[in-house]
Structure 1
Amino acid sequence: MTGNRVQALLDEMRDHQPDHFAIVSRVREILLEAGPSISEEVKYGGILFSARTPFCGVFSYAGHVTLEFSEGAALPDPHGMLQGQGKLRRHIKLTSVSDIKDRHVAAYVELARQAAGD
């Protein structure tokens, strides 16, 4: 059932926001390749990823996609990419597929996954 909800969200995005669909699809691939115990579910209007606990999500907004880290304030920020001033969460804004590499998304995903205890 969860897979069906994820696919429905992706289908909707592909039909109405193809640029965002390309970004979300690539980030999703990176997340699912980050470890065998990574799961995904539709929650809060995006896709939430969990290891032992939820650790990040991908959300499409009008002008960008964000990769949001549940405990991002505690993560190291070696490339200075994390944005946000909240107590816990941090995010990386993505406006193109090339931003995924340029903003070191895979490295931040690995840091967040490790912090989640997987």
Structure 2
Amino acid sequence: MKKSENEKVQKFLGEIKLIDAEKSDTLIEIREIIFTHFPKTDERIMYGGIVFFLNDEMFSGLFLNKKHITLEFSKGFLMEDPNRTLEGKGKYRRHLKIFTKEDILSKGVSFLVKQAV
């Protein structure tokens, strides 16, 4: 796991691990995908989750819910979604619900993340 340069993010990741190890592993894997595609990403705790920025522009966020993890895309309305996995009808944002670690592959998280910026 890539250690966060942001103390609040690192604390958040540690707390999640204690509360729900399975969700923690899934969240960490998604976070690593984001950093693989965009190594210069800055992350912050906002809105109750981890929000990702590139050049001071927010492009994505990870949020924990009781039954799933939500991966949000700030400009999701522009993204290709051939499997129709993105949800949301707002003007710009779209999100993806991740219930299991297997969803990362089956819902094409890496394909979607590549389009986030």
TM-score computed with the length of structure 2 as normaliser? 0.90
Distance 2:83 2:52 in 1: 22
Q: What is the match of residue 51 of structure 1?
A: 54
Q: What is the match of residue 87 of structure 1?
A: 91
- Structure 1: 5+ residue stretches without partners: 114-118
Residue pair 1:23, 1:97 contacting (<8 A) in 2 also? yes
Counting aligned pairs with the same residue, the percent is 35
Please identify runs of 4+ aligned residues in structure 1 that moved more than 4 A. Answer: none
Residue pair 1:2, 1:41 contacting (<8 A) in 2 also? no
Pairwise CA RMSD: 1.4
Instruction: Kindly provide the CA deviation profile for residues 62-113 of structure 1, in whole angstroms up to 9, marking residues without a partner as x.
Output: 1100100011122221221111111111111001111001100001000112
2:44 aligned with 1:73:
no
- Structure 2: 5+ residue stretches without partners: none
2:82 aligned with 1:64:
no
Q: 1:27 aligns with which of 3, 25, 30?
A: 30
Kindly state the Cα deviation for residue 2 of structure 1 after the two structures are TM-superposed. Answer: 5.7
Instruction: Kindly provide the CA deviation profile for residues 29-77 of structure 1, in whole angstroms up to 9, marking residues without a partner as x.
Output: 0001112321111111111111121100010011100100011122221
Task: Name the count of aligned residue pairs.
Answer: 113
Distance 1:35 1:58 in 2: 15
TM-score computed with the length of structure 1 as normaliser? 0.89
Distance 1:13 1:83 in 2: 25
2:111 aligned with 1:107:
yes
